[in-house]
Chains A and B, each alone.
Chain A
Amino acid sequence: MGKVIVKVLIGLVAAAGFWFTSMAMGFPPVFQTMFIVFALTGTFVFLLLDVPHTTPPSGVVGLISVIGFFCLVGLGYGAAASLWPQFETGDEQEKIAKVLNGKENPLDPWNAEEITNRIKELDEKGKALAERMKNLGGDQSAVAAAAAVASVAPATGGGGEGGGGDIMKLGEEQWQLQECYNCHKIRGEGGKKRGPELDNIGSLLTMEEIKLKILDPKSFMAEGFEKEWEKGRMPDKFKDVMSDSEVVALATWLSEFKNTSVATPKPIKKK
């Protein structure tokens, strides 16, 4: 028992030490709590070392113990995972919906669902037309049929462009949707030095050149990022996942950044 008390005391002293030292070092409370958890885990581990010898249960007691143990461990892992900060799925769902909006499904080139809907729609129109023909007489049928077809046609054409909109807004949206902020910093936000800071990119590259860089990451190399360029750190995927208008919008938006106080590295033409 004496050993247990000593170990608990050491654990508590260590936990308190961690708390105050980390506070003095400027760690936010969430990290301080984490350090306490480490100290208590260590204490628990050292207490386990002194657990007296036991004999394992057998028979029905053994069976119940094993089932109970499985449930306990499962519950422990589920609960422990729930204690960590959780990702906000709603944000991503919204993002994905925007990214995929208007994109073609490569597995559905004829868009089976749309065709089915159109067939249904035409069928209904046809029925209505037949009804009208009955009421109006045969001479009106050609006109009515033409009108019906014309009314359906606009509903199936295009639709992806979304009626123009502000190109700058669209460009900024693409910055968010394509998660460029994960590597690049702009307006002091995002990035972890994985890619160059872009606040002055508009002074160094034209919109066309930025567009080229997005579509072919090897076309330009930022000074000081030779290793990253060599390893192809910037993903070569935007030509596949972005439409031309989206790339133009993003490039246009970026080309407006001309903050000379930020040392955006000089791009060197490579291709």
Chain B
Amino acid sequence: MNIPPRNLIGVMAFLALCVAGVSSVYAQAPGSPAVQFPYTGNRTAVWIVAQLHTLLGAFILGAPIFVVMAEWLGFRKQDPRYDRMAKEVTKITVILFSMTALTGGLFIFVLLATYPQFTTWFVNQFYMVFAVIYPLLFIVGTIVLYAYFYTWDAWKGEKKGRHIALGVLLNFLCMATMFVVNGPTSFMNTPVQVEGISAAEALAAASLWDKIANVSWMPLNLHRIDGNVAFGGFVVGLIAAYMYMGAKNSEERAYYDWMGFVGNLIAVGAMLLQPFTGLLLAYEMCDYDFSFCPYMMADQLSMFFEMQGAVIGVMFLGCNYYVWLNLRRIEGIENVRMTILAPIVMVLSPVVMVAVFTEYWIPEPMSLAFLVPFVLSPFIFGRFIPLTVSVETIMKVTFLMVVVSTAIWVIPNGFAATEGRLTEELQLPEAWEILGKMPTKLGAIFSLVFVTVVNYVLYGRVIRQGTIVWGKIDGVSQFLLIFLAFTSIWAMGLMGAVRSLLRKFFHSYNLIPDFTAESFTPTLSSSAWLITGIALVFFVIVSAAIFIALRSVVLKEREPEGVPVHAGNK
């Protein structure tokens, strides 16, 4: 393997800094005060390492789902492109698996150095998880991953089913690892609670399972599963974009164009579920302690949610724009048309959805009784209406409605970071207060998802009926793939920060207060710059992994094959 050392400098420098920062932990006597991390402070140091570890973890847990799906599709369709893509992504996953383990170890060291008392207490609470179950799953997962990777070429043809089964086992292990580690993570937000007794008493009476299966555990599992798949898909798009730009011939360009297309398709499919699983998580947390709700939506974190709305809106715009650029190179697009009912329903969707949710707040079934027929109407009744519109018209209506829905989503009830500081000049007029209400936000999110789904249904029709000219996609699309990967990471970082900050000034909510000076809620601005920095470091690592894993293959393929020469002729 030919790895130019300069490509590793960035990663090595970062790791060296981290190791230097935590090395003093070994010199500590038990019971001595926490280390003060230089330059960043303790909380920021933990934040950086934890988020980096989570991002890498998200990829290595999400990618195998993507990989096995691709491998299975390749096997079923007998299309070698899927198999190649799956193998390339696995190569990168293998490298990032070790980076995840490394940052995980670093995370524990930094935690021990900066919050020794809490970390000891926390590990004791989940001793079986941290000392036995999690390492065991990680080790077995690593072995299976290596076995999966190294049996790729050996288990071909008739043995392909066996290889796919191994991939399924890998996914099972990855999923179990995530579920297990989500236990302690969610516990910090929503520890065991029993009505009528104190939190400490409830904890004392709780079993390990009670601690793991806390109220936000399963919603967090679901949110992270589809989040990881979406993220995996976007990173595949990123890989494809890099390789497309570096491709030397039209075959390679065609293949990586296709890879970006598939990665994006899977990512968007999973992303469409994200708002709902996220909402479920928020719902369960607010149900656990209602003070989370105003803290998130009206107080300290309210502007984080404004930013989230804007970022998600931009992501939806980006996904739909990618479709637009894809459609430009499909031949026969002019033959595809859609019922006029579709754009009408799309335009009406924000109003109808806001009205329904205002009247029937989810999970009231009546909301579905209205909305299911509404969203299905273009597909059911459309065939009886002879009037149709072009693909371009539908696409333009989609863009318009994405902008409108995002606008509705991000209009705040009050333009202040805390409800306590609201003045009339910063607040919506009374007659328009509805714009700031939760049902309105929910209606906007549903509308955003709905118009994108219609767009992708149309996209599917065009792909089936037209001919895609692979390798001829607009150059802007490759930057769009990079943009979507970065934005999905950024959104993950932002919402991860929100989840973690919900503990307020507690390490573990209501149980262990954080007495350090850093236990306050940071500003959106400082959090955003930090998230940006972490995302950039993550991309340096991923880009290095892509370069190491895939560049060498390209070089090898281009090596001129030597002509065999008889030894005696030399």
From known contacts A54-B474, A56-B478, A87-B303, infer whether A96 and B245 are also in contact, taking CB-CB under 8 Å. no
List the A side residues contacting B198 at CB < 8 Å: 239-240
Question: Is residue B426 contacting chain A, with contact meaning CB distance below 8 A?
Answer: yes
**B476 in contact with A183 (CB, 8 Å):** no
Asked whether, in the complex, the Cβ of A99 is within 8 Å of the Cβ of B245, the reply is no
- Check B307 against A81 for contact (C-beta < 8 Å): yes
Q: Does A74 contact B (CB under 8 A)?
A: yes
Bound-state Cα–Cα, A248 to B272, Å: 49
Q: Please give the number of chain A residues whose Cβ is less than 8 angstroms from any Cβ of chain B in the complex.
A: 74
Task: Give per-residue flags for A38-76: 1 if the beta carbon is below 8 A from chain B beta carbons, else 0.
Answer: 100110011011010111111000100110011101110
Q: Output the nearest chain B residue to A52 by Cβ-Cβ distance.
A: B474
Cross-interface CB contact of B311 among A38, A53, A77, cutoff 8 Å? A77
For A29, the chain B residues whose CB sits under 8 A away are 425
Contacting residues, chain B, for A87 (C-beta < 8 A): 300, 303, 417-418, 521, 523-524
Are A74 and B486 touching (Cβ within 8 A)?
A: yes
Contact status A194-B294, CB under 8 Å: yes
C-beta contact mask, B389-426 vs A, less than 8 Å → 1, else 0? 00000001001101100010011000111111100111
For B523, what are the chain A residues with a Cβ–Cβ distance below 8 Å? 86-87, 89
Q: Which of B117, B195, B295, B515 contacts A236 (CB 8 A)?
A: B195
What chain B residues lie within 8 Å of A209 (beta carbons)?
none
A233 to B287, CA, bound (A): 7
Residue of A nearest to B528 (CB): A81
Q: Please state if A70 and B294 are interface contacts (CB–CB under 8 Å).
A: no
Q: Name the distance in Å between B208's Cβ and chain A's nearest Cβ.
A: 20
Stretch in contact with the other chain, from A102-110, A156-164, A200-208, A255-263: A102-110
Known: A81-B527, A96-B505, A96-B520. A25 touches B478 (CB 8 A): no
Which residues in A have their C-beta under 8 angstroms from that of B536?
A: 70-71, 74
Q: What residues of B have a CB within 8 angstroms of the CB of A89 in the complex?
A: 520-523
Tell me if A85 is interfacial: C-beta within 8 Å of chain B.
yes
B287: which A residues are within 8 A, CB to CB?
Answer: 231-232
Check B307–A237 contact: CB distance below 8 A: no
Chain A min CB distance to B111 (Å): 14
Q: Which residue of A lies closest to B504 (CB)?
A: A96
- When distances are taken between beta carbons in the complex, the residues of chain B under 8 Å from A77 are 311, 487, 490, 528, 531-532
- Of the stretches B139-147, B178-186, B376-384, B506-514, the one at the interface is B506-514
| Contact across chains for B396 and A99 when beta carbons are under 8 A apart | no
A28 and chain B: residue at smallest CB distance: B425
Contact flag A54-B475 (CB < 8 Å), given A27-B429, A106-B511:
yes
Distance of A218 Cα from B196 Cα, bound (Å): 9
Using A28-B426, A237-B289 as known contacts, say yes or no to A74 and B419 having CB atoms under 8 A apart: no
Q: How many of B's residues come within 8 Å of A, CB to CB?
A: 90
Residues of A within 8 A of B474 (CB): 51, 53-54
Q: Bound complex: CA of A77 vs CA of B312, how far in Å?
A: 12
A66 touches B245 (CB 8 A): yes
Chain A residues, CB < 8 A from B417: 84-88
User: With an 8 A cutoff between CB atoms, is B539 at the interface?
Assistant: yes
Instruction: State A171–B529 Cα separation when bound (angstroms).
Output: 39
B90 interface residue per 8 A CB criterion: no
Taking the nearest CB of chain B, how far is it from the CB of A54, in angstroms? Answer: 4
Residue B80 lies at the interface, judged by CB distance under 8 Å to chain A: no
**Please, which residue of chain A has its CB at the minimum distance from the CB of B300?**
A87
**Contacting residues, chain A, for B284 (C-beta < 8 A):** none
Q: Is the CB of B415 within 8 A of A30?
A: yes
CA distance A224 to B554 in the complex (A): 70
Are B490 and A49 interface neighbours, CB within 8 A? no
Interface presence of B479 (CB below 8 A):
yes
Interface flag for B517 (CB, 8 Å): yes
Taking CB atoms, residues of chain A closer than 8 Å to B246 are 58, 62
Q: Answer whether A96 and B519 are a contact pair too, CB < 8 Å, given A46-B399, A74-B532, A84-B524.
A: yes
B505 pairs with A99, CB closer than 8 A: yes
Contact of B291 among A38, A42, A108, A179 (CB under 8 A): A179
B525 in the interface (beta carbon within 8 A): yes
The distance in angstroms between the C-alpha atoms of A62 and B198, with both chains bound, is 60
Assess whether B482 is in contact with A100, with CB atoms less than 8 Å apart: no
Docked-complex contact B524 and A106, CB < 8 angstroms = no
Does A66 contact B482, Cβ atoms closer than 8 Å?
yes
Measured CB to CB, the closest approach of chain B to A215, in angstroms, equals 10
Additional A-B contact list (8), CB under 8 Å, known A236-B195, A237-B289? A29-B425, A53-B475, A56-B478, A57-B475, A70-B539, A73-B487, A232-B195, A235-B289
Q: Which 5 A-B pairs have the closest CB atoms?
A: A81-B528, A56-B475, A87-B417, A54-B475, A82-B525
Binding site for B on A (CB under 8 A): 25-31, 34-35, 38, 41-42, 45-46, 48-49, 51, 53-58, 62, 65-66, 69-71, 73-75, 77-78, 80-82, 84-89, 92-93, 96, 99-100, 103, 105-108, 112-113, 179, 181-183, 190, 192, 194, 216, 218, 231-237, 239-241
Q: Report which B residues bind A (CB closer than 8 A).
A: 31, 33, 117-118, 121, 193, 195-196, 198-200, 242, 244-247, 287, 289-291, 294-295, 298-300, 303, 306-307, 310-311, 317, 321, 324, 328, 396, 399-400, 402-403, 407, 410-411, 415-421, 424-429, 431-432, 474-476, 478-479, 482-483, 486-487, 490, 505, 510-513, 515, 517, 519-525, 527-529, 531-533, 535-536, 539
Could you list 16 examples of A-B contacts with CB < 8 Å?
A27-B432, A31-B411, A38-B403, A53-B474, A69-B483, A70-B482, A70-B536, A77-B532, A82-B525, A84-B524, A87-B521, A107-B121, A235-B290, A236-B193, A240-B198, A240-B199
